[in-house]
Amino acid sequence: MNEVSQEEKILRDSHTVALVGASPDVERPSYRVFSYLKEQGYRVIPVNPRFTQILGETCYPDLAAIPEKVDVVDIFRRAEDVPPIVDQAIGIGAKVVWMQLGVINEAAASRARDAGLLVVMDKCMRKEHLKMRGIQE
């Protein structure tokens, strides 16, 4: 039997994703990931103080403003912007911090792990989900 990767386990066990850095711009990677995850049945909550709604979902200014439980905090921000987002993820009791492709912040990852969160860095949730389904892009 194949061993299940941490990413696959997260994708299978998680239901609610807060997408930090969400954008209504269809050209942005965050929009593509947002719409894909929504199509796959995830509850996706956009987080961006610049917008009030994205893809029909209420957009929140930060993680603390979200009125429901969040499993995964998916981060579409520059690496230097990650530490306060990780602090908020810890504060709201998220289970996972997922930093998108190209986003690497070892100090923030270490802080999240020390607080008991799972951490994925430099990987795309959409690509990992497609891979889990046996689809290569």
Quick one: which H or E segment has residue 31?
A: helix 29-39
pTM: 0.96
Return the pLDDT at 4: 83
Q: Domain locations in the chain?
A: 6-103+116-132
Instruction: Report pLDDT digits (tens) over 88-114.
Output: 999 999 999 999 999 999 999 999 999
Q: Which is nearest to 102 in space by CA: 76, 83, 137, 131? A: 76
Question: How large is the angle between the packed helices 106-114 and 82-91, nearest 10 degrees?
Answer: 10
Spelled out in words, what is the top-level CATH class assigned to the domain 6-103+116-132?
Answer: alpha beta
Question: What value does the mean pLDDT take over residues 76-80?
Answer: 97
Structure-block tokens of residue 118: 């799972």
**Cα–Cα distance measured from residue 9 to residue 67, given in angstroms and rounded to the nearest whole number:** 25
Are the CB atoms for 83 and 107 separated by under 8 Å?
yes
| Residue 1's pLDDT band (cuts 50, 70, 90) | very low
